[in-house]
Amino acid sequence: MKQAVHFGAGNIGRGFIAPTLQANSFNVTFVDVNENLIDQVNEKNQYKISSLDINGTREEHIQNVRAVSLNDKKKLKEILLNADLISTSVGPKFVESIFQEVALLDHEKEQVFIAFENMYRASSSTSKKFKSLNPNLNIIDAVVDKIVPPQPMRSLDVIVETYGSIILDDSTLLRPLESSEIVSYKDYENEFYKKLWLLNGLHLQLAYFGLSNENLYIHEVIASTKGKEFAEKAVKNLSEAYSIFSKTDEVLDEFCRTIINRFALPDINDEVVRIARNPEIKFAKNERFEYPLRLLISNSSEIDTFRTVFDIIINEDFQQVDGFTSFKRAVLTKGKTYIYNEFWEIQNNSNNYIERLGS
145 and 233 housed in the same domain? no
112 and 62 housed in the same domain? yes
154 and 169 housed in the same domain? yes
CA distance 320 to 324: 8
Residue 216 confidence (pLDDT): 97
Last residue of a domain, one of 121, 154, 186: 186
Among 195, 137, 203, smallest CA distance to 166 is for 195
Q: Count Cβ atoms below 10 Å from residue 135 Cβ, excluding itself.
A: 8
- Is 227 strand, coil or helix? helix
Taking 80 as the threshold, does the pLDDT of residue 153 lie above it? no
Residue 108 confidence (pLDDT): 80
Assign residue 164 a region (left: φ > 0; alpha: ψ between -120 and 50; beta: otherwise): beta
144 and 282 housed in the same domain? no
Last residue of a domain, one of 126, 153, 186: 186
Question: What CATH number has the domain bearing residue 333?
Answer: 1.10.1040.10
Count of domains forming the chain: 2
59 and 153 housed in the same domain? yes
Indicate the DSSP class of residue 173: S
Report pLDDT digits (tens) over 305-340: 999 999 999 999 999 999 999 999 999 999 999 999
Report pLDDT digits (tens) over 178-224: 999 999 999 999 999 999 999 999 999 999 999 999 999 999 999 99
Helices 350-357, 304-315: inter-axial angle, 10-degree rounding = 90
Question: What CATH number has the domain bearing residue 136?
Answer: 3.40.50.720
Percent of the chain with pLDDT over 90: 90
25 and 145 housed in the same domain? yes
Residue 251 confidence (pLDDT): 95
Report pLDDT digits (tens) over 91-123: 999 999 999 999 988 888 899 999 999 999 999
Residue 150 confidence (pLDDT): 79
Q: What is the mean pLDDT of the chain?
A: 95
- Is 349 strand, coil or helix? helix
- Is 209 strand, coil or helix? helix
145 and 87 housed in the same domain? yes
Last residue of a domain, one of 155, 186, 217: 186
127 and 203 housed in the same domain? no
203 and 290 housed in the same domain? yes
**Could you tell me if 222 and 231 are in contact, meaning their C-beta atoms sit under 8 angstroms apart?**
yes
| Structural domain range at position 250 | 189-357
Among 50, 64, 122, 47, smallest CA distance to 92 is for 122
Report pLDDT digits (tens) over 15-32: 999 999 999 999 999 999
160 and 223 housed in the same domain? no
Contacts of 75 by beta carbon, 8 Å cutoff, 6+ apart:
68, 69
Mean of the pLDDT values across residues 269-287? 96
Per-residue exposure over 323-342, b if at least 16 CB sit within 10 Å of its own CB, e if not: ebeebbeebbeeebeebbee
Contacts of 27 by beta carbon, 8 Å cutoff, 6+ apart:
1, 2, 3, 4, 64
207 and 175 housed in the same domain? no
Percent of the chain with pLDDT over 70: 100
pTM of the prediction? 0.94
Residue 347 confidence (pLDDT): 80
Residue 10 confidence (pLDDT): 94
Main-chain phi, psi angles of 144, to 5 degrees: -115, 135
Taking 90 as the threshold, does the pLDDT of residue 54 lie above it? no
CA distance 83 to 53: 34
Residue 306 confidence (pLDDT): 98
